[in-house]
Chains A and B, each alone.
Chain A
Amino acid sequence: MSKIIELFENFFTGVVPLEGYIAVSLIMFFAGIYGFLTRKNLLMLLISVELILNAADLNFAAFNRYLFPERYEGMFFVLFTIAISACEAAVAIAIIINIYRNMTNIDVESIENLEEPKETYREIIKS
């Protein structure tokens, strides 16, 4: 209880507390979890994943700045995470557009009966 009072007394003094950044990323993370569990559209699942990844990025940057300000590890992890999530989004959207072409909608229920394509990848490359 005393800690809460102390937190409000120091609300506008000193630097912004580390807890502030972590609380923001916590809300983002669990909003992403909620969206991932409730939404049925594949693109919405992808948007939720982007929210989760951004929460992780914010945590990396805040921890690096507050705990080890003379090091660069957190910052470079954020850089590589952004690059990987851009890759992931590109490939996932290509897959989603392909699913839409075959099934005409992109709900998660509609793709439970996947089957092997008739042509093998060797034939795809040859064509």
Chain B
Amino acid sequence: MAEHIIFYTLALVIAVFSVLTVTTTKIIRSATFLLFVLLGVAGMFLLLNYHYLFAVQIAVYAGGVMVLFIFGILLTHRPGEKIAKVPFKRRFSALSVSLVGIAFCASIIFYNINRVYKFVSNSELAMQDIGETLMGTEKFQYLLPFEAISILLLACIVGGIMIGRKRS
């Protein structure tokens, strides 16, 4: 019961703020609404008993990426500047594309997912299991993607400095 109330509150928050994110006219406000959406998704992870994902979502998205976004906005905008009005034709075509997409996917979901799934509510993942799965080389263990991500992060740091630095 309590789980249901939390879920529907979070769902309402995510739905409303994700629509507001793409329709508001000020970009800094849009970034703030995105932050609310990210926090709502973190709450969903908590509700699904993925506590580690909750922590990662808060630390990386709400902490790191949002700071990047706000720095980007502040560096590329004069304050108080509004986004130019989108022409009606373009808005209408985008709206129809997304509404048709929602209707199509919702009908597929509604008629094809039957209730055969099981949900083990009281099984939080042990931290040791996560570590061993991340660091092993056997089947269903993820050392290779982990190392690939670390190389990607290094390349990303070098590329970011290379691109963003001032040309002399």
On A, residues with C-beta under 8 Å from B are 3, 11-12, 15-24, 26-28, 30-35, 37-41, 43-44, 46-48, 50-51, 54, 57-58, 61-62, 65-67, 69-73, 75-76, 78-80, 82-87, 89-91, 93-98, 100, 106-107, 119, 124, 127
Judged by DSSP, the binding face of A is helix
Judged by DSSP, the binding face of B is helix
Distance between Cα atoms of A22 and B4 in the complex (Å):
15
Is the pair A15, B119 in contact by a Cβ cutoff of 8 Å? yes
Is the pair A37, B117 in contact by a Cβ cutoff of 8 Å? no
How extensive is the interface on chain B, given as a class? 35 or more
Q: Cβ of B161: which chain A residues have Cβ within 8 Å of it?
A: 94
CB proximity to A under 8 Å, residues B135-151:
140, 142, 145, 149
- Complex partner residue of B115 from A17, A26, A35, A47, CB under 8 angstroms: A17
Distance between Cα atoms of A32 and B73 in the complex (Å):
19
Nearest residue, chain B, Cβ from A30: B98
Q: Cβ of B152: which chain A residues have Cβ within 8 Å of it?
A: 83-84, 87
CB proximity to A under 8 Å, residues B22-66:
22, 27, 30-31, 34, 37-38, 41, 44-45, 47-50, 52-53, 56-57, 60-61, 64-65
Q: Cβ of A38: which chain B residues have Cβ within 8 Å of it?
A: 22, 86, 90-91, 94
Nearest residue, chain B, Cβ from A90: B160
Is the pair B125, A37 in contact by a Cβ cutoff of 8 Å? no
Nearest residue, chain B, Cβ from A21: B44
Distance between Cα atoms of A53 and B3 in the complex (Å):
25
- Can you name 11 A-B pairs with beta carbons within 8 Å? A3-B110, A16-B7, A28-B14, A34-B95, A40-B84, A47-B21, A47-B22, A50-B65, A54-B37, A86-B64, A95-B163
